[in-house]
Amino acid sequence: MSLTKRRFFAIAGPLGLLLATAAFAEDSPARQTSPEETMNTSREFLQKMQDSQGKVTKLVDQARRKKDAIKLNCVNDKLVQIKGHVSLADQGIVNLNTAVARGNDGERQHEFTRMTILYQKVLVLGTEAENCVGEEPSYVGATNVQVEIDPSVPDDDPTEPQLPLPDVTRPPEASPFN
């Protein structure tokens, strides 16, 4: 499978999951689970988002060490977005705690849906950050090139004129005045 196809599937998979999550949000498990389970799942989401942020931070450091400005800009852009989502998720945990304390299932559902979407976005951004760095070319051994020339191809080079060259004389001057 080519690198382009792998990148497509690496991005399309989590992106499809994100879209499916958003479509499924109306029937989200928060309605069917207890407030404690919702809180535990949200905390797991936040922890995984923070782990992803740490991995992308390492990718930024790696690109910085290699002094690759293009990779650094790409990965850094993803990191900035991840940090924003993690910050929103931190606030979402606080809001979710408040909703659970109030016993407001609608608000709890809303915050859990937000947490789920933020989690999926961070997963997609983490994958995109890995794609920014890409795979390093690896040495697989010496290259062996075999050339076959069709026998019907003439041996002479059409870019080199045949000898003797034609007698070329300069035309007369256009004006007798210099």
In the block, residue with structure tokens 């041996």: 155
Residue 160 lies in a domain: no
Helix axes 105-133, 69-102, angle to 10 degrees: 170
Residue 148 lies in a domain: no
Residue 20 lies in a domain: yes
Go through 128-156 and write b for each residue having 16 or more CB atoms within 10 A of its CB, e for each that does not. bbbbbbeeeeeeeeeeeeeeeeeeeeeee
Q: Which domain holds residue 121?
A: 3-133
Residue 168 lies in a domain: no
Q: Mean pLDDT across the stretch 102-128?
A: 93
Question: From CA 16, how far away is CA 41, in angstroms rounded?
Answer: 21
Residue 161 lies in a domain: no
Instruction: Provide the pLDDT confidence category of residue 177 given band limits of 50, 70 and 90.
Output: confident
The pLDDT value recorded for residue 138 is: 53
Please check whether residue 43 is in contact with residue 93, taking contact to mean a CB–CB distance below 8 angstroms: yes
Convert the pLDDT of each residue in 61-85 to its tens digit.
998 998 889 999 999 999 999 999 9
Residue 28 lies in a domain: yes
Residue 118 lies in a domain: yes
Instruction: Provide the pLDDT confidence category of residue 94 given band limits of 50, 70 and 90.
Output: very high
pLDDT above 70 for 8: no
Residue 141 lies in a domain: no
Tally of domains within the chain:
1
In the block, residue with structure tokens 């293009």: 70
The pLDDT value recorded for residue 134 is: 80
Q: Mean pLDDT across the stretch 56-61?
A: 93
